[in-house]
Amino acid sequence: MKLYLLTISALLFGAITLSAAEATTPAEAAAEIATPKTEISMKDFSYSFGYEIFSGNKKYKLILSPEKLLEGFSDGYAKKPMGVKQEDVKAQHGAFMTQMQVDGEKDFTDEKGILSYFTGYKIGSNFAANGIDELDKNEALAGINDAKEGKEPRLDENARKAVMEAMDEKAQAKAKAKAEAVKVESKKFLEENAKKEGVKTTESGLQYTVIKEGEGAKPKATDTVKVHYKGTLVDGTEFDSSYKRGEPISFPLNGVIKGWTEGLQLMPVGSTYRFFIPSDLGYGDRGAGADIPGGAALIFDVELIEINPQK
């Protein structure tokens, strides 16, 4: 997904990721960073970003609050706790969708600023994770206001597209170089981990240990399962936990990452296993959002609570 195509729909229904590209060596990636195809002005990029993000969401009949958008961006970029609750985001998005069903021609103004803040926060987090410089807030606001007021933009469409694509290329090169380094560390971790007592390795490279062995049935890939889980990076950084949310989750086993699809089929109901998942059985070179870098091996403690067989 190109940076200049980010919209509220992408933010609400999935993680923001940069577009994939062919693999390069760390040296090639570093060369791309050093010599981008187009010289990038952060003022031009910030203006273009502001203009495009407002215009893009206006097509969805959603009118963002510029101030809240930039406030959210700043907090996300600085990795501060998100300043809105997820339930409030869902409620506001629900109100937006309801209005679209009732009167799809009418604009929905985000008066509370909840969707605007959330949009900005997710983009800011993504920028920070991908090594993109922080926005020039004044220029971004100028771009938003020009789009909002229907003024002639300071940069025409071709110029905006060129600067946004140049930044996207630079970010991709940084992400590729980072993924290569992460993969090296992940491989080293898994090689050492495989030697530890109690660690089993499958043919695919998935590693696991049994924390608690249950006595129930084992799921098939076509089943839906209910689990509690905690996920961390190999350095111990926790990126997700159903335990902290206070409720387990249910999902089709063939609809998740390969490491989970394979690993949970080894588990009888009532078991808790720890999985050590290579990146190619996880999120690959692209990673997932701001918390899981490309190339990362992942560690999951998974408790299998229930199986709902396919009917």
Q: Are 297 and 278 in contact (CB under 8 A)?
A: yes
Burial class (CB in 10 A: 0-12, 13-18, 19+), 196: exposed
Given 283, 285, 299, 305, which residue is catalytic?
A: 283
Q: In degrees, to the nearest 5, what angle opens at C-alpha 130 toward C-alphas 274 and 57?
A: 105
60, 63, 88, 239: which is the annotated catalytic residue?
239
DSSP state of 288: B
* Residue 96 bears catalytic tag: no
Nearest-angstrom CA–CA distance, 290 and 285: 13
The length of the chain is 311
Residue 73 a catalytic site member: no
Q: How far apart are CA 186 and CA 209, in angstroms?
A: 18
Q: Which pair of structure tokens corresponds to residue 250?
A: 């249910």
Nearest in space to 305 (alpha carbons), one of 273, 277, 282: 273
| Annotated catalytic residue within 146, 275, 300, 307 | 300
Helix, strand, or coil here: 265? coil
229 is catalytic: yes
Residues in Cβ contact with 151 at an 8 Å cutoff, skipping those fewer than 6 apart: 145
235 is catalytic: no
List the catalytic residue out of 60, 63, 133, 257. 257
Which residues are catalytic, by number? 229, 239-240, 257, 283, 300
